[in-house]
Each structure stands twice: as structure tokens, then as C-alpha cells.
A and B are shown apart, each in its own frame.
Chain A
Amino acid sequence: MSIQNLNTFDPFADAIKSSEDDVQDGLVHVRIQQRNGRKTLTTVQGLSSEYDLKKIVRACKKEFACNGTVVEHPEYGEVLQLQGDQRENICQWLTKSGLVKPEQLKVHGF
């Protein structure tokens, strides 16, 4: 692959993200967690707090036909939670809507 050191760092990430989230590395982390049984949960951490996450979650719920919520975290700020494995959906949606650049996305999980 390409040189990791170059493409993980976006020099303009600071301009995009607000000054509040100091823990963030300018990346939007998309993770998956297992719940009971075969149920899963997708979390999106690192979205700029300038965006109205409630509006985003509303749109996502409708688009992916899943439930979702916004959780406030003392360290990570507002975090999006969606039911099920919505990792691909959310990545596509975020890039398509222009909220996040593809290189800012970091998808975790199996």
C-alpha cells in the first residue's frame, strides 16, 4: 500500500474539526460492537461538533432503516450510534454528503 505516514495525516483536518475535540486525531472512527446474540451496534466517533448530529442521525435512520441515537461522551464528544452493522452505509453516506472526506474515515472491526 501507499505510505501510511503520508495519508493518515490531513493537514487541513484542524480546519474542518472544531477546536473542542482535542482528543481527536482528525479522523472519523467507525466501529462495530457486538451486543447480545447476533445483534450489533455501529458507532461513529469524531464527527465535527459543528455539524448537527441529531439531524444526521435522523437522516441516517431513515436512509438505513435502522434505529439510532446521539450519545454525549465527556472525552469523545458527541458520538453517533446506529443499530446493526451500518459501517459501509455510514461511510458511503458521509462521503457522499460531503461531511467527511474518504481519507478521514477509519473503519474498525472485523
Chain B
Amino acid sequence: MDDDMIFDPSLKKKKKKKTGFDIDSTLAGEQNETTSIEAPAESGDVDVPEDDNLDLDNFGKKKKKKKKTFFNLEEIESALPETKDEKPPAEEAEPHGEKVIDDLDLDIDFSKTKKKKKKKNIDELVIEDDVKGDDQEKEDDMHGDWVGGDRDYTYDELLERVFDIMREKNPSMVSGKKQKFIMRPPQVVRIGTKKTSFANFTEICKTLHRQPKHLLDFLLAELGTSGSVDGNSQLIIKGRFQQKQIENVLRRYIKEYVTCHTCRSPDTILQKDTRLFFLQCETCGSRCSVASIKSGFQAVTGKRAAMRAKTA
């Protein structure tokens, strides 16, 4: 996710620079323009050189495109009714001037005046926006370029903004992401040829906040075997099992009996109500019944002769 987010914009920027006639490029031009215009609102002296640069950069055909995008913007983003009222006259005035420039490749002076016209308009708008912005969201003050809400925001910056606000408002979420659910892997050792020791069984029960008996019942039922906890609080299971296999069973146990079925939070309580077990989530408050542990049918393995002798 993050990599993509970081990676994408740079790609787009490259594209913008290379291809001259794309919509991307026009958008890029648009952005440059608006940002440069917003800056002047604060400091008056710097405007002129910046404007020159811009004009030189976006000379010729691009200007037409700029205009087009402007119109589009207004059509699409009719967010502020006042902007609509004020803008059309400014733009109506421009087209003739710009055509002349395009044809004659003439001067920067002309465009400057034009720009100034625009600037004035936008300055007014910015002020109005500021007032509104303060009313609506105070968060906007932290990200300056969001105030002059006239430009077309790119998806990436909007996304970044949302994430910034999210992280700002709940820092616990940021840390919670990494927290996940860390549990030590089960230590599984073979005892002789027929038994397996699950050494940190009790410890895992504690980290999962579950009764050892419950996990024991589940393990034995799933593995279709028998076993018990010995004096050293390790679980001795009949049969040969590898750590990976025990891990798989544990994972299933956690999924069914530890993590919340709704929000997956491991902060849950297992309650026994009459004969059913319920999983109560401490994070989202959901409560749902979980399957009861049944070992089910157990095939008779070994010692068949002894059994026969008994029944006979």
C-alpha cells in the first residue's frame, strides 16, 4: 500500500513532464498555475518573477488548455456559488488576449496583465474561502494549500490528506497496525517415538487468555489423540507431531475461539452460557456463539486383539 502510494505520484509527474498534450499535462499545468497563484496571496513582491517563469514554461498551446481545464473545473466543481458568479467575466475577457499571444508568440507583459487579473479574482476568492474554511474545518489550517479550494485536487494528495488526518486523530491506530497478534511459536519436541511434548503450552494459554483445559480439549479433539499436562506444565501428546502441525491447529483455535469474528480483535472473553460458549469482544462489543469442542468419532487404533479379548 504505502509503497504504491509513494511510487505512483512520481510516475505521474514524469509522465506529465514528458508528454506535452495529454490531459495529465494540462492538469499539471493547472496545478502549477494555481499553486503559484496561491503563494502571491501571502507575499506580493515575489509574484512577478514567478509569473514570468510560469508563462515562459507554459507558453503557446498550453495556455489554451489551461483555459479549457478552467472551464471544466467550474462545470464540475461548482462547490462555491460565489466563485461562479465572479469568474465568468474574468475568463470572458481573456480569450481574445490569449489568442493573440498564441498567434504572435508575443510578449510576457500581456500575459502578466492577464495573470494579474486572474490573481485579483483568486485573491478575493481565497479570502472568502478562508472565512468559510475556518467555519467548516479547523484542520485545514494545518495544510495551507487546501484553503484556496479552487484547484483540482489529485487523487494521491487527497488520499494522503485523509491518511494524515486519520493518523493525527487516532495515533493508537498507527501503532495498532503493527501490533497485530504476536505469540511465541509453540515449542514442540518429540519424546521417544510415540509422544510429543508441547513445552510452552501453559504459556500460550496465558497469552491467549484461555483456560488450559479449553485449548487442551481442542488440540486433542483436532489431533484425534489423547494427552495431558505434566508436572512441568508441558503438554504431552500421544503421537508424533511437528511444530508446524501444532501451529496449524493453534491458528485454527485462535481464529475460532480467540479473535473476534466481527472485527478480528484478539481482545475477547470466552464465556460459557448454559452449555454454549460465547465469544465476547472487548473492542467492538460483538458477541457470538462459537462451536463446541467435540472430538467426534474416534477410530479404534491398535490393541484390537486386547479389545476382542475383553468383549469375548
- A interface residue numbers (CB < 8 A to B): 1, 3-5, 8, 29, 31-36, 38, 41, 43, 45, 71, 73, 75-76, 79, 81, 108-110
Contacts and interface: CB of A to CB of B under 8 A. Distances in A.
| A4, A45, A79, A81 — most chain B CB neighbours (10 Å) | A4
Interface in B78-123: none
B269 interface: no
Contacts of A4: 256, 261, 288, 290
Interface stretch (B51-59, B135-143, B228-236, B298-306): B298-306
B224 A33 contact: yes
A71 B299 contact: yes
Contacts of B222: 108-110
Given A38-B240, A110-B245, A29 B297 contact: yes
A5 B289 contact: yes
Interface in B284-298: 288-291, 296-298
B310 to A, nearest CB: 17
A80 to B, nearest CB: 10
A33 B261 contact: no
Contacts of B256: 4
A34 B297 contact: no
A31 B291 contact: no
Contact of A45 (B225, B246, B296): B296
Nearest to A4: B261
A75 B245 CA distance: 29
A41 B244 CA distance: 20
Nearest to A44: B297
Given A3-B261, A109-B222, A110-B222, A81 B246 contact: no
B302 A31 contact: no
B112 to A, nearest CB: 63
A43 B299 contact: yes
Given A33-B225, A34-B239, A110-B245, A5 B288 contact: yes
A102 to B, nearest CB: 18
Contacts of A29: 296-297
Contact of B296 (A3, A36, A76): A76
Given A33-B225, A109-B222, A109-B223, A76 B297 contact: yes
